[in-house]
Structure 1
Amino acid sequence: MSNLVKRSKIISNIRLFFLQKNIIEVETPILSSSSVTDVNLVSFKTYYSSCDQVQKLKLWLITSPEYHMKRLLSAKLGSIYQISHCFRNEEFGRYHNPEFTMLEWYQPFCSMKNFIKEIDKFLQIILNCNKSDKMSYQDVFIKFLNIDPLSTTLSELHQISKKLKLHYLTHIENDLNKLIQLLFTLEIEPKLGKKKPIFIYHFPVEQASLAAINSQDSRISERFEFFFKGIELGNGFYELIDVDEQKKRFIEDNKKRIAMNIPCQKIDSLFLDALSSGLPNCSGVAIGLDRLIMLMLNETRISKVISFSLNRC
Structure 2
Amino acid sequence: MSDWKPTAPIATLEVRAGMLRAAREYFAATRALEVETPTLSAAAVTDVHLASVEATAVGQRRYLHTSPEYAMKRLLAAGCGDIWQICRVYRDGESGRWHNPEFTLIEWYRLAIDHHALMSDVERLISAMMPTTRHFDRSERLTYREAVQLHAGVDALEDPVQVLVARLESAGIEVPPSIRGDRDGCLDLIMSVLVGPHLGHDRLTFIYDYPSSQAALAQARGPVASRFEAYMNGIELANGFHELGDAPEQRSRFEQDLVGRRQRKLPPMPIDERFLGALEYGLPDCSGVALGFDRLVMCAVGATHIDEVIAFPFERA
What TM bracket, shorter-length normalisation? over 0.9
Structure 1 partner of 2:224: 220
Q: Does 1:68 align with 2:71?
A: yes
Q: Does 1:17 align with 2:29?
A: no
Structure 2 unpaired stretches of 5+? 1-9
Structure 2 partner of 1:310: 314
* Paired residues of 1:103 and 1:288 also in contact (CA < 8 A): yes
Find the residue that maps to 2:87 and give its secondary structure. Answer: strand
Structure 1 partner of 2:50: 41
Say which of 260, 263, 269 aligns to 1:259: 263
Say which of 76, 86, 90 aligns to 2:89: 86
TM-score (norm 2): 0.93
Structure 1 unpaired stretches of 5+? 50-55
Say which of 38, 49, 54 aligns to 1:29: 38
Q: Does 1:191 align with 2:191?
A: no
Q: 4+ runs of 1 displaced by more than 6 Å?
A: none
Structure 1 partner of 2:170: 163
Amino acid at match of 1:196: R
Superposed CA offset, 1:85-117 (max 9, x none) = 000012211110000000001001111111111
Q: Does 1:211 align with 2:218?
A: yes
> 1:43, 1:199 → 2: CA distance?
27
Amino acid at match of 1:129: F
Structure 1 partner of 2:145: 138
Superposed CA offset, 1:231-260 (max 9, x none) = 000000000100000000011000111111
> 2:88, 2:275 → 1: CA distance?
20
> 2:152, 2:56 → 1: CA distance?
47
Map 1:265-284 to 2 at 5 A. Answer: 265-284=269-288
> 2:285, 2:48 → 1: CA distance?
26
State the Cα distance separating 1:126 from its structure 2 match.
2.0
* Paired residues of 2:22 and 2:128 also in contact (CA < 8 A): no
State the Cα distance separating 1:160 from its structure 2 match.
1.2
Amino acid at match of 1:244: P
* Paired residues of 2:107 and 2:289 also in contact (CA < 8 A): yes
Amino acid at match of 2:167: I
Q: Which has the higher contact order (CA 8 A, sep 6+)?
A: 2
Task: State the percentage of identical aligned residues.
Answer: 36
> 2:209, 2:299 → 1: CA distance?
26
Structure 1 partner of 2:60: 57
TM-score (norm 1): 0.94
Q: CA RMSD in A?
A: 1.2
